[in-house]
Amino acid sequence: MLVLRNVNSFYGRSQALHDLNFDAPEGQIVAILGRNGVGKTTLLRTIIGLTDRTEGRIDLSGVEIGSMPTFARARAGIAYVPQGRMIIPDFSIRENILMGGFAASGQRRIPEIVAELFPYLMENLERPGGVLSGGQQQQLAIARALACDPKILLMDEPTEGIQPNIVHQIEDCIIRLNTELGLTILLVEQNVDFAKRAASTFAMIENGTTVSAGKIEDLTDEIVSRHMAI
Ligand SMILES: Nc1ncnc2c1ncn2[C@@H]1O[C@H](COP(=O)(O)OP(=O)(O)OP(=O)(O)O)[C@@H](O)[C@H]1O
């Protein structure tokens, strides 16, 4: 569904991705793994069009999207849940969610799945986003992404910095979005156990390129320790 071939990506003159190849099959969760600073976030930013310059080919369902502006990629069905969540603290929960719909062409509304997954948000729509806990803000960032009716969700370390008792709720939500809505999910994840539980394929990134990829069953301890141990 999403295919990257020989992709280079740059911040100014600094090159962060090098000749990178990547495949995300439709309807599956792909775990994107690797040490800090190897280019996992940059891979997601490259797919949605948020780095300064990109070379190579990025195809979504056979259509080349690598030269499209970010809003057009969002309209084509890609939504981004960034690291740190990027909630607007002074906007209400409702406003934060509806912001996600600005990228979509249809009517802006809160999708039904949001009410089902995140009842707390629905019961507190007029509260400011800034008063929420980290876990609730993560739910809000996911709700905002769902408001543009995506086909692909790019999720950057969705459980990072979240209280342990909320982590499993976020993990369950990610799995439900995949199994119940059929969303294709690119999941940057440091927790290898969760990646193994949720994903069906993986890509291991090192020095801005894919060094190992395949079915999640083929992600051996040896690959993990070679590319992720400090
Ligand atoms: N805005 C930026 N401007 C310049 N260089 C950047 C920028 N963002 C990231 N980089 C550089 O690009 C490289 C890849 O960083 P990136 O954040 O993609 O890695 P990562 O694997 O997501 O790391 P982490 O797990 O810490 O989030 C690093 O060398 C980083 O310093």
- Averaged over 109-117, what is the pLDDT? 87
Closest CA to ligand 1's atom 25: 36
Between the CA of 41 and the centroid of ligand 1 the distance, in Å, is: 7
pLDDT over 90 at 132, yes or no? yes
Closest CA to ligand 1's atom 20: 37
* pLDDT classification of 105: cutoffs 50, 70, 90: low
pLDDT over 70 at 106, yes or no? no
Between the CA of 17 and the centroid of ligand 1 the distance, in Å, is: 10
What's the token pair of residue 134?
Answer: 């980290």
pLDDT over 80 at 104, yes or no? no
Question: What is the chain's Cα-based Rg?
Answer: 17
Phi-psi region of 153 (alpha: psi -120 to 50; beta: other; left: phi over 0): beta
Q: What is the pLDDT of residues 158-208, one digit of tens each?
A: 999 888 888 999 999 999 999 999 999 999 999 999 999 999 999 999 999
Question: Residues enclosing ligand 1, CB less than 6 A?
Answer: 11, 14, 16, 34, 36-42
* Nearest atom, ligand 1, residue 190 CA: 25
Quick one: what percent of the chain has pLDDT higher than 70? 98
Q: Count of CB atoms within 10 A of residue 171's CB?
A: 17
In DSSP terms, 28 is beta-bridged to none
Gap between the Cα atoms of 92 and 104, Å rounded: 20
2-88+149-228: CATH topology is Rossmann fold (3.40.50)
- Res 82: pLDDT: 94
Q: What is the pLDDT of residues 140-149, one digit of tens each?
A: 999 999 998 8
Between the CA of 33 and the centroid of ligand 1 the distance, in Å, is: 14
* Nearest atom, ligand 1, residue 205 CA: 21
Which residue do the tokens 């793994």 mark? 33
Instruction: Break the chain into its structural domains and give their ranges.
Output: 2-88+149-228
pLDDT over 80 at 102, yes or no? no
In sequence order, what E strands does 27-151 have? 29-33, 53-60, 63-64, 78-81
In DSSP terms, 3 is beta-bridged to 23, 59
One-letter amino acid for residue 14 of the chain? S
Q: Count of CB atoms within 10 A of residue 151's CB?
A: 18
In this structure, are strands 78-81 and 152-156 parallel, antiparallel, or unpaired?
A: parallel
- Res 80: pLDDT: 95
Q: What is the pLDDT of residues 12-53, one digit of tens each?
A: 999 999 999 999 999 999 999 999 999 999 999 999 999 999
- Res 163: pLDDT: 87
pLDDT over 90 at 110, yes or no? no
ipTM of model: 0.94
